Amino acid sequence: MMRTALSSVLLDAPRAAAIWLGLLGVVLLAVTGLLLRPRLFRFDAGTRIRDAALPSRSDHADQRRDQERWAEEVTIAAERADATARHRRDEWLAAQDEAEQAWRAYETAEADVRRLSDAAGMPLPQTARTPAEYADRERWLHRAALDAYWRRELSVEQLSDVFAHRGWDPRLHPVEQELLLRRAVRDHLLARQRAAREREQATWRAAELSAAAARSLREEATAALLPVAAERESVLPLTAPGAAEQTREIPAVVGRAAVAAY
């Protein structure tokens, strides 16, 4: 029996020695790796938490592309809005000049009416009331009205009334006819000035809306360029001190790039 037990022990000894040598080799490899590459076995809580909180590299790349695409689209929209705002402002300036010119023309016509009103109060020269005289007065009225129309001082409706004698008496003295004509010119210029003022106010409102839309799009485009910097700032407490000093300069660089782009 003892021989049998001893023989079995002797037979199992090489196998046990091989197992122990294998375990010893694994331990030696682990110790060697720890001595040569200590960072592989170091538990970095900040890194683990940061890696768990941040998305994967593929997700982060997709988000970055989406952000860049969105920023590009908003930038293009902002540039178009700026062009529209400049166009609306030019329209408003042109309408403002037109309104000012219409007002000056009305003031001149009003001064002519006052001057002729004072002259009409004086005795009129006496002329022979003959068919030839009446024909001359009618020709003078038609010619004066046509000249005023070509100067854009009368509307086509007013000119038609003159030639059709609707509200106009061609037999009146030329001084009286000129006073009536100047009053018609004044009324027409006043209506044109009011219409020009309304157009000027409408173009001003359109310019203000376009400018506000352009400002909003510029702000949105600027904000679209900053998520990367904001993301890096949000993970600063989880980084090492040296890395924090290096990363702290990134938002300023991105901000300057955004301002330079606009």
Residue-wise pLDDT for 62-91, tens only, equals 777 777 788 788 888 888 888 999 999 999
Would you call 135 helix, strand, or coil by DSSP? helix
Q: Distance (Å, rounded) from C-alpha 82 to C-alpha 85?
A: 5
pLDDT digits (tens, 9 = 90+) for 236-258: 444 444 443 343 333 333 333 33
Phi and psi angles of residue 46, each rounded to the nearest 5 degrees, phi first: -60, -45
> Domain extents for the chain?
56-212
Give yes or no for a contact between 180 and 148, defined as CB atoms under 8 angstroms apart: no
The residue count of the chain comes to 262
Q: Which residue has the tokens 């000012």?
A: 100
Q: Distance (Å, rounded) from C-alpha 85 to C-alpha 79?
A: 10
Q: Which residue has the tokens 């003031």?
A: 107
Give the range among 45-54, 110-119, 183-192 with minimum mean pLDDT.
45-54
Residues 6+ apart with CB under 8 A from 84: 210, 213, 214
- Residue 139 buriedness (CB in 10 A; 0-12 / 13-18 / 19+): exposed
Proportion of the chain above pLDDT 90, given as a percent: 27
Q: Distance (Å, rounded) from C-alpha 119 to C-alpha 196?
A: 32
| DSSP conformational letter for 225 | T
User: Is this prediction's pTM over 0.75?
Assistant: no
Pick the residue with more confidence: 241 or 173? 173
